[in-house]
Amino acid sequence: MSRLTRISGLSVRYGGVTALDGVDLDVEAGETLAVIGESGSGKSTLALALAGLLPADADLSGRIDWSGEKPRPGRDIGFVFQEPSASFDPLMTVGAQLVETIRAHERLDRKAARARAVALLDRVRIPDPDAAFGRWPHQFSGGQKQRIAIAMAIACGPRLLIADEPTSALDTIVQKEIVALLSGLVRADGMTLIFISHDIALASGVARRMAVFRQGRLVETGTTAEIVRVPKSDYTRALIAAVPVREHFQQKWEPVLRSEMRQKQKDSAHMAEPLLEARNLTLRRGGMPVLDDVSLDIFPGETLALAGPSGSGKSTLARVLLRLDLPDAGSVRFEGGDWLALKGAALRRRRAAMQMVFQDPLAAFNPRASVREALDEPLRIHGLEHRTEKWEPSSRGNQSTGLISNPATIGKIRCSNKKIERDAGALLQRVGLDPALASRGVHALSGGQRQRVAIARALATHPSLIVLDEAVSALDVTVRGAILKLLMDIQKADHTAYLFITHDLAVAAQIADRIAVMERGRIVECRPAQELIAAPQAPITRALIEAVPRLVV
């Protein structure tokens, strides 16, 4: 196998931050190379350097030597990005964008370019490619958009295809399909594929060779079989050890944790009232049901995982529960009060009790903010320093709002948490971070650190329920495991309830007391986690379990 490119002593700096540090790596023509590492490890910077797409402020040193003529981005190098929607102009049809890509690099008239575009759509298995040519990006699912993005990347027959986390925004079923599509295209066209991922199990089923990155450095490279069987670095060993084993989800739980989960389930079963009670929620968009008669309970101190494929309604349900969207029909009671009836100041006061942690913490923060400013933000928004009321349904309270005035109780609660609420350093310590990080910019943190800050920000208002929407899906398995343990430790101490949204049942099995599985806007089954994993009843649940990536030797 001939060499496509040799990377020698490659370093990239952004201001004072080193993104790549002295990387030496050969890429062979026609091979599939997996580049593995957590967020911030330098994977994407390596890809951008190879494609000649580094931003103007990047300081690059070292060499990238190509065999033969230097490849041209778009023509000789195709790029598939993590977020499918980011690949498209929302004001152009997908067909027009494919034609534009083709004609930018090849001398074809519009008719010939259109014919190639339709053929490409057919090749990536888009149904009815002639009709799809004239549709807009928003009319396709996430998986279909990623297929079309792949079609754009291979439109001009590139020598090198770089796929940067191409499946991390997709559910495990679609993820499996996209990986199979990429592998088939690479084999058929003889392309070189650089497959960038934080998921070593997924990558092991794609690549013949792996390069493992951490903190901008290449820590290990070798064949996939060598790295999986006999990893050389402690970091790679930790990555492999942290991969959930699909056939043994229950055995992966520590005995003490299993005992705690069983006790929590027993306690929840005997509670008079759930913390949150949703009944018959229905929401239609464009005449289509997005939520279809959804009912669920979340009990104090429990973790309910909400699993399902992309487009099943998980995030929409979360938005309804958070009062970011209102349903067409149905009811939600939260802490005993009518959550959907609250308005104005009463609603603003109560939002502090239900917080959210997003999939991409960087997108959730002001990029110019320091960590301290990010942690102070929810306190300023909710005016907690001046709060004189607490949601506490009782015979003494106002039944329409669920609020009572009880200064003695409030004072006790506020004083016990006053330092944590006002001190960013204490919040950072709570989530296992050095208080000195409070003065740093959020953008300067690693992916795992940013997610810990996001959790700290959610904790700042002392919520009784935290909604976590794909909160660990972009993290490597070691960081993911640490975040899951942190969440369980916080829950044990504070009795906080979690609604944990995920498309990965392996992750759900590690943290959840109960799992609810959604499909096409409905909950198709909801049972204790161990029971559901051991004996799934719904076909979609079985498909999600089957699609969990496995380490391939």
The Cα–Cα gap between 536 and 528 comes to 11
For the whole model, what pTM was predicted? 0.78
What is the layout of strands, in order, in the sheet containing 17-28?
Answer: 17-28, 3-14, 58-66
Structure confidence at residue 480 (pLDDT): 82
3: DSSP letter: E
- Residue 243, SS3 per DSSP: coil
Token digits for 263?
């006790």
The Cα–Cα gap between 496 and 212 comes to 36
440 CA to centre of own chain? 24
| 447-459 vs 477-494: helix crossing angle, rounded to 10 | 20
Pairwise pLDDT comparison (349 vs 122), residue with the higher score:
122
Cβ neighbours of residue 540 under 8 Å, at least 6 residues apart?
308, 309, 517, 519, 524
Identify the CA nearest to 228 among candidates 236, 220, 217. 236
Domain ranges of the chain: 3-244, 245-335+465-552
Token digits for 358?
């997003």
Which of 190-204, 359-373, 466-480 reaches the highest mean pLDDT? 190-204
pLDDT tens digits, 263-289:
555 555 445 589 999 999 999 988 888
User: Max CA-CA distance within the chain?
Assistant: 81
58 CA to centre of own chain? 27
Cα distance from N-terminal residue to C-terminal residue, the chain? 22
- In this model, does residue 412 exceed pLDDT 80? no
| Integer angstrom CA distances of residue 230 from 24, 197, 226, 552 | 21, 20, 6, 13
Token digits for 533?
């994993």
480, 472 contact by CB (below 8 A): yes
Full 3-state SS string of 385-426: HHCCCEECCCCCCECCCCEECCHHHHHHHHHHHHHHHHCHHH
Average pLDDT of the residues of the chain: 85
Can you list the alpha helix ranges (DSSP code H) found in 244-360?
249-252, 255-269, 314-321, 344-351
Taking the C-alpha atoms of 190, 178, 95 and 193 in order, what is their torsion angle to the nearest 10 degrees? Answer: -30
102: DSSP letter: H
Report residue 333's pLDDT band, with 50, 70 and 90 as the boundaries.
Answer: very high
CATH top class, domain 3-244: alpha beta
CATH annotation of 245-335+465-552: 3.40.50.300
pLDDT tens digits, 77-113:
999 988 777 789 999 999 999 999 999 999 999 999 9
- In this model, does residue 149 exceed pLDDT 50? yes
Instruction: Determine the average pLDDT of the residues in 127-149.
Output: 93
- Angle at the Cα of 284 (from 279 to 285), degrees rounded to 5? 150
Report residue 305's pLDDT band, with 50, 70 and 90 as the boundaries.
Answer: very high
Fold match, 3-244 / 245-335+465-552: yes
